[in-house]
Structure 1
C-alpha cells in the first residue's frame, strides 16, 4: 500500500517536472516574446525574464529589439542627368512593436532590406551626380 503511494507520488512529481520544463521559457533582456495560442495572437507581449507557456498549445516567438545593422547590396542606377552609378549602403533599424513585426509582415528583416533597396534606387533616379557625390 505504501509502495503504491510512493510510486504514484514519484510519478506525479516527475510528470510535473517534465511539464514545467516544457512550459518554461527565458526571454532575454533585449528580446520580447510574442505568444500565439492555437494560432491566435495573445494580447500581451512577454517582457524579459522567466515566462511559462502552455506546452503544445502556445507558441512563443522571440523578437530582437536591438538596433540591427544590415548591409544593402550595391545598387546600379541612372541619375537624373543620365550617369550610371553604383551605390553601397548600410541600414540601421529597430523593431518598435514586436507583435506587429511578427503578425503584419511575413519576414520583417527581408522586408526592410527590400524597402531599403527600392528607396535607394528611387533616390538615385531623382538625384543629380553632383548631389550624390556631395
Structure 2
C-alpha cells in the first residue's frame, strides 16, 4: 500500500513539474530573430532592450514588446485634395520607414505604425494643398522629398526614420483632363507654327545671301542656269530646251527700253 501511495506521489510530482515547466519555460525564454528587438518592462518599468537571440525573463514579472527593425511600408489611402489653384485632385502615396530606436518607438507613442500612417495622410493633404496642379505634376520628386522631410522630423522623437515617400498617382477630374489635352494640342500647334516660321525665315536669309552672291558674281548665275538645264534634261520630258546666253536677254531689254521711252522723257 505504501509502495502504491509513493508511486502516485511520484507521478503527481512529475505531472506538476511538467505542467509548471510547460507554463514557465515559454515565459522565461524568448528567441528573437536578427531583425527583432525586445523592449523589456519589469513590474511596468522599462528595464532594457535585448536581442537578437535567446533572452531570459522572470516569469510573470517581466513583459516584453517585440519591435521589427526592418523597413516597413504604409499605403496612404487616396485623398481628395484641393490644390493651390483650386483644382480638385485625388492623390495617394506610399511611405517607407523603419524603427531606429525600439525603446522610443514603444514608450513615446502608442501603436507607432498607425501613428505614422495618420501623420503621412495629413502631411500629404497639407503639402498637396500648398502647390499648384502644374507643380504637382511636373515636380513630383521635389514634393516627395518635402513630404518625407516633414514626416521624418515629426517621427524622429518616436525613434522612427522615414526613408522615402512616393506619391503614386494623381487622378484628375474628366473636365480637367479634357482641358489639359486641348492645352497640349494648342501648345503643339504653336510650336509647329514657330518651327515652320523659323524655317521660312532661315530659307529667306539663304535666298537673300544667294541673290547677293549672284549679283556680285555674274558667273555664278550662269553656272546655276547650266545646272538647272542639266537637271531638266534628266527628266523624261517631251520638250527640248535651247539654251540662250543671258546677254541676249539683256540686249532685248535694252532694245525695249529704247523703243518705249519712259513718260518723263
1:117 to 118, 121, 128: 121
Match of 2:258 in 1: none
Match of 2:86 in 1: 82
Gaps of at least 5 residues in structure 2 are 1-5, 139-265
Match of 1:92 in 2: 96
Match of 2:136 in 1: 132
Give 1 or 2 for the bigger CA radius of gyration: 2
Change beyond 3 A, Cα 1:52–1:118: same
Match of 2:30 in 1: 25
Structure with bigger RCO (C-alpha 8 Å, 6+ apart): 1
**For each residue in 1:58-77, what CA deviation from the matched residue of structure 2 results, as whole angstroms up to 9, or x when unmatched?**
10110000000111000111
Match of 2:41 in 1: 36
Alpha-carbon offset, residue 80 of structure 1: 0.5
Matched, 1:69 2:73: yes
- Structure that is richer in strand per residue: 1
Distance, in Å, in 1 between the alignment partners of 2:90 and 2:17 is 65
Paired residues, number: 130
Matched, 1:56 2:56: no
- Structure that is richer in helix per residue: 2
Instruction: State the SS of the aligned residue for 1:127.
Output: coil
* 4+ aligned runs moved over 3 Å, structure 1: 9-21
Distance, in Å, in 1 between the alignment partners of 2:82 and 2:16 is 71
Distance, in Å, in 2 between the alignment partners of 1:16 and 1:51 is 19
Distance, in Å, in 1 between the alignment partners of 2:17 and 2:88 is 71
**For each residue in 1:8-65, what CA deviation from the matched residue of structure 2 results, as whole angstroms up to 9, or x when unmatched?**
x9689758844434301011111100001111111x2102000010110010110000
Q: TM-score, normalized by length of structure 2?
A: 0.45
Q: CA RMSD in A?
A: 2.2
Distance, in Å, in 2 between the alignment partners of 1:12 and 1:86 is 63
Match of 2:219 in 1: none
Gaps of at least 5 residues in structure 1 are none
Distance, in Å, in 1 between the alignment partners of 2:109 and 2:27 is 28
